[in-house]
Structure 1
Amino acid sequence: METQRKAPIGRPRGFDVDEALEQAMRVFWEQGYEGASLTDLTSAMGITRTSMYAAFGNKEDLFRKALERYTEGPASYGARALQEPTARRVATALLNGSVWATTRPGCPAGCFGVQASLAAGDPGRNAREALITWRNEAISLLRDRFRQAVDEGDLAPGTDPGLLARYIMTVANGIAVQAASGATAEDLQLVADMALRGWPPA
């Protein structure tokens, strides 16, 4: 008599975790942390709430994972920009990347890191603080790169690396807000170009 085979322990999930996270990222990107309901998220991910909790944790955990995915994906132009050989080329790559990432066809308009924090009330405090940390880290990395440029003589000795970094990031964030409001890539590229016209001399 044939014995019944037992189901394997640790059965693999019946969905693509990577694709589910991609969809969650897009929902948060488009709707913000508070605007994205669990129903919106699970519907886009194609999974049940139980599966979402098992794979990603609660909504806040999922948001943090989605932010990491955004940083390593659509926003990866920031890390690449820091590798440019001159400070001006760093700033140019960063602003051009912001225009590209916030107006790219097939993706939500604007920036995940800006959109997701707008109009966030008390329930979204932790998500908002995570985004503040995320943006501050970006400014710190840019400040350090500009400080290196001053040390190397690529920027004038009197240049304030922190102020220059905050200026460039403020323009980049402004580009993202304008993109979310419907501004075109062409118009925003003109803004990026204008911001660089007053670049401090070496």
Structure 2
Amino acid sequence: MTIRLGLISWATGALVLAAVAACSDDTTNAPSATPTPSATSVAPSPTSSPSPTSPSDAASDAATSAMRSYFTVVSEVGQDPKSPLKRLETVATSTQLQALETLHRGQRDRGRRQTGSTVISEFTVQSVNLDNSDPGAGKVPTVVIDVCWDVSGVDVLDRNGTSVVSPDRPDTGWTRYSVANYDYADDPSGGWRVATGQDLKEEPCAAS
């Protein structure tokens, strides 16, 4: 399922996109790296009434909503040095949360802050896996989403207001996120958090 988002924008630092994707590559206690896609639709009913939403469809919708919230919260924390880092726990977990906390603490220690907004022009749900057999080992429901981002309008400034972004920074790219729900049994719709992120070596998506 590919969802076009037009010019909807969320702010997230360009350095956040690069660093978090690199730092969160550790898979310790992360959700399964190769989730098995499950059905994303149900067979049509013999009557004309609409088919009920399948568990996979519901998980996909909840995970994409969590992905939107992730970009919103990460950006707000990056733009406001007084924003509590605890807010990151509402949108991230596992290695992604650790990477975000480390990154934002480092940025704040250096007196850096983000300006501008990242534009998300497209994202694609690659797979849905509802295996919840062993949360302690990372076997939890997981939705894998590829995100196309555009950071041409984003800057990161030091304490003197000088940009620290490299002039060679790419303006667009793709990142693959795993959105996991470690509380699926108790909260199948609201427990989704971004657990890992990894940059993809693909052709840049079109700038928004």
Please give the TM-score of this superposition, normalised by the length of structure 1. Answer: 0.27
Q: Which of the pair is proportionally richer in strand?
A: 2
Whose relative contact order is higher, 1 or 2, with alpha carbons under 8 Å and at least 6 apart? 2
Higher fraction of helix: 1
Q: Which has the larger radius of gyration?
A: 1
Normalising by structure 2, we get a TM-score of 0.27
